[in-house]
Amino acid sequence: MRLEAVVLPDKRRVSVKPAAILRCPMASAIAAWIRTDVAPLAASLGSVISDLDNFDSFECRGRNRMVGGRLSEHGRANAIDIRALKLASGRSISLVDRTVSRSLRESVLHSACARFSTVLGPGSDGYHEDHIHLDLMERRNNYKICQWDVWEPLPQIAPLLPAERPDEAPPREVADKSDATKPNAAKSEAAKSDAARSDTSEPEAGDTSPPAKKRRQNRRF
Ligand SMILES: [Zn+2]
């Protein structure tokens, strides 16, 4: 069947975009999941779910698009790939975005793993880093696969302190010299050494010997 929308208990419609071609049991499982688990989750955010971002549903192909691979559940219209949920507020919640609340993504993971026999997401096999795959594949003893690592959010604040100078780093004199090749750096170095004449033991960056050598060479040839 063609699943275009799921009607919520309060008669609101959640559009499946684009509409998904699914076998009836899979379409019913998606509808029940949206009505019972996902809609209340959106409500807990003070919003209403409006769309399900359908990345892929029915397609005649092998698993992970490998030619000759075992037929994917997509080929049996028994699977859907979801990237995001859209809320009536206009907000789109990507299920694989680390900046999205971790507890929210975990709630989606637990609800999906309770209903579908296969849930694959980031960290599963490298093919599901940008979407979540759900299917109702039948296996012996109702064996289920639930592989979706809900990654930790990235640190919000970058470390402010510079990295500690490693012991094997070249002496500061060398570093200063190479800095002095930039005109501004050279100027400020000069200003510094004017201000602090005690520091004259260090060779000046503006040493004239290399250009002099060059001139001599020019004369010779
Ligand atoms: Zn898939």
Looking at the fold, whether 9 and 40 belong to one and the same domain comes out as yes
Assess contact for 134 and 121: CB atoms under 8 A.
no
* Cα dist from 3 to 29, 53, 122, 130, 186, whole Å: 11, 13, 26, 22, 69
Looking at the fold, whether 89 and 177 belong to one and the same domain comes out as no
CA of 208 from ligand 1 middle (Å) equals: 68
Assess contact for 52 and 15: CB atoms under 8 A.
yes
Residue range 50-81, pLDDT digits in tens? 999 999 877 666 677 776 677 789 989 999 99
Please give the pLDDT value at position 65.
73
Please give the pLDDT value at position 190.
52
CA of 127 from ligand 1 middle (Å) equals: 9
Pairing of strands 13-21, 49-56: parallel
Distance, in Å, from the CA atom of 202 to the CA atom of 213, rounded to the nearest integer, reads 21
Domain stop point among 113, 147, 181: 147
Q: What angle do CA 11, 17, 18 make, to 5 degrees?
A: 130
Per-residue burial over 187-198, b = 16 or more CB atoms within 10 Å of its CB, e = otherwise: eebeeebeeeee
* Position 46 in a domain: yes
Looking at the fold, whether 30 and 110 belong to one and the same domain comes out as yes
Quote the pTM value: 0.67
CA of 9 from ligand 1 middle (Å) equals: 28
Q: Which residues have C-beta under 5 Å from ligand 1, the single-atom ion?
A: 81, 133
* Position 126 in a domain: yes
Looking at the fold, whether 103 and 186 belong to one and the same domain comes out as no
Please give the pLDDT value at position 214.
46
Distance, in Å, from the CA atom of 30 to the CA atom of 73, rounded to the nearest integer, reads 15
Within the chain, which residues score under 70 in pLDDT?
59-62, 67-68, 155-160, 174-221
CA of 74 from ligand 1 middle (Å) equals: 6
Give the domain range for residue 190: 168-194
Distance, in Å, from the CA atom of 91 to the CA atom of 182, rounded to the nearest integer, reads 48
CATH number, residue 22:
3.30.1380
How many independent structural domains does the chain possess?
2
Looking at the fold, whether 48 and 139 belong to one and the same domain comes out as yes
Looking at the fold, whether 77 and 142 belong to one and the same domain comes out as yes
Assess contact for 108 and 41: CB atoms under 8 A.
yes
* Position 44 in a domain: yes
Sequence-distant (≥ 6) Cβ neighbours of residue 191 within 8 angstroms: none
* Position 53 in a domain: yes
* Position 220 in a domain: no
* Position 115 in a domain: yes
Please give the pLDDT value at position 86.
96
Which secondary-structure segment (H or E) carries 118?
Answer: strand 118-120
Looking at the fold, whether 180 and 138 belong to one and the same domain comes out as no
Please give the pLDDT value at position 216.
47
